[in-house]
Amino acid sequence: MRNFISHRVQSVPPSGIRRFFDIVATMKDVISLGIGEPDFVTPEPILKAGMASLHRGETGYTSNSGILELRQAVSRNLKRLYDVDYDPETEILITVGVSEALYLALTALLDPGDEVIVPQPCFVAYTAEVTFAGGVPVTIGTRVEDNFQVTAEAIESKITPKTKALLIGYPNNPTGAVMSRENLAQIGQLAEQYDLLVISDEIYDRLVYDGAHVCFSALPGMHPRTILLSGFSKDYAMTGWRLGYAAAPPEILAAMRKVHQYTIMSAPTTAQTAALEALQRGEGPVEAMRQEYDRRRRLIVRGLNEIGLKTFEPQGAFYAFPSIDVSGMTDEEFAERLLNEEQVAVVPGNAFGAGGEGYVRCSYATAYEKIEQALERMHRFLRRHG
């Protein structure tokens, strides 16, 4: 038989993270700092709202765009937090996580060969999704010297007549970097100068520890040029509910809705009702989780630096990104040997693309005591190999 798989799909390698976790799944007594999701269960009032919705018999589809009340709550929330205005009727779409929202944005925007500039290290799906949508990802490695913030200069050097959009994700997975208002404003100027769109994945917006999150579309002139993606997975510990949203100008949102209508119909109904509760009464739990992440963040950053792994101070999300240079190993080798010798799972930095080599991602979305034990094991490992 011939090979039926499209060149587009064949050209994308399987996720480096998956391969690693297939190995972890077969091992005992592993402390995993590899997981990219909250270790908290969804807060009780949100769970109850989901269950009540089921018990009321709300088991059908919702409107394609999502429950209007939820879109109104998303709109109010964005106004309250960032003073941005989005019309719930025409500018907000409820999706199956940011994952779907990203797929919709890229499918709605890209013609074959259109280029999307993607600063890395970044969430593993970005470049793959650009390729699936027929576009060409153009990557830029960010550097610890710039606090892992992408610079306008680096972006400008990659702009060609085929560039259609930039895809940025801050607070960043895997570095924990947050962009300064000045740097974002410079990117905004470039977007205007070269007539580009900016897809801004702000899924970790509520998990910021120093300073405040800057919403890209709140910058002067950026509302018409931004596709804002966010959701409930990380801030509200709701990864399994699969719920997110996109906020964008009406004509772009309408194009995304068209793709959504034909591929998904509507996001999960139970999750939408639960998310409404999250927005209406979730502030307390969000803040409690943020504070606990912050306590763990201080432990892990101090601990990694003390055992000799130079670690950039992450300001958002729930990842530390230490350099493993002192070990003399590649990041893949480091992660594999650490797993085999000390049963600690971390993710090799090169899984996140350019600029990730020589680093590993350690998630602190795991219990404080487990992080302490992991640090002890890593210390032992480095005494042997440092």
Q: Which is nearer to ligand PLP, 104 or 253 (CB)?
A: 104
Strands 244-247 and 92-95: antiparallel
Binding mask 161-180 for ligand PLP (x = CB under 6 A): --------x---x-------
Binding mask 268-307 for ligand PLP (x = CB under 6 A): ----------------------------------------
Does 239 bind ligand PLP (CB under 6 A)? Our answer is: yes
Give every CB contact of residue 345 below 8 A, 6+ residues apart in sequence.
20, 21, 24, 30, 31, 32, 33, 34, 335, 338, 339
Measured between alpha carbons, how far is 191 from 165 in angstroms, rounded to an integer?
8
Does 215 bind ligand PLP (CB under 6 A)? Our answer is: no
Q: Measured over all CA atoms, what is the biggest interatomic distance in the chain, rounded to whole angstroms?
A: 60
Starting at the earlier edge strand, list the strands of the sheet with 319-320. 319-320, 360-363, 347-348
Q: How far is the CB of 199 from ligand PLP (least distance, A)?
A: 11
Query: Strand locations in 195-286, DSSP E?
Result: 197-201, 226-231, 244-247
Site for ligand PLP in 120-139 (CB under 6 A): 123
Handedness of CA 176, 153, 162, 219 (dihedral sign): positive
Q: Which is nearer to ligand PLP, 108 or 375 (CB)?
A: 108
Give the Å distances, CA to CA, from 40 to 235, 238, 291, 383. 11, 9, 13, 33
Q: Which is nearer to ligand PLP, 199 or 309 (CB)?
A: 199
Site for ligand PLP in 28-47 (CB under 6 A): 36
Q: How far is the CB of 317 from ligand PLP (least distance, A)?
A: 7
Q: How far is the CB of 264 from ligand PLP (least distance, A)?
A: 13
Handedness of CA 76, 170, 228, 69 (dihedral sign): negative
Q: How far is the CB of 201 from ligand PLP (least distance, A)?
A: 5
Cβ burial, residue 240 (10 Å; 0-12/13-18/19+): exposed
Q: Which of 203, 228, 289, 324 binds ligand PLP (CB under 6 A)?
A: 203
| Number of C-beta neighbours around residue 328 at 10 A | 10
Measured between alpha carbons, how far is 289 from 367 in angstroms, rounded to an integer?
12
For ligand PLP, the nearest residue by Cβ is 97
Give yes or no for a contact between 248 and 221, defined as CB atoms under 8 angstroms apart: no
Q: Which of 121, 244, 249, 322 binds ligand PLP (CB under 6 A)?
A: 244
Does 20 bind ligand PLP (CB under 6 A)? Our answer is: no
Q: Which of 99, 107, 350, 366 binds ligand PLP (CB under 6 A)?
A: 99
Measured between alpha carbons, how far is 385 from 151 in angstroms, rounded to an integer?
35
Choices 50-58, 95-103, 143-151, 261-269 (CB under 6 A): range interacting with ligand PLP: 95-103
Q: Which of 233, 266, 311, 350 binds ligand PLP (CB under 6 A)?
A: 233
Choices 93-101, 184-192, 297-305, 330-338 (CB under 6 A): range interacting with ligand PLP: 93-101
Give the Å distances, CA to CA, from 23 to 17, 139, 315. 10, 29, 30
Residue ranges that bind ligand PLP, judged by CB under 6 A? 36, 97-99, 123, 169, 173, 201, 203, 231, 233, 239, 244
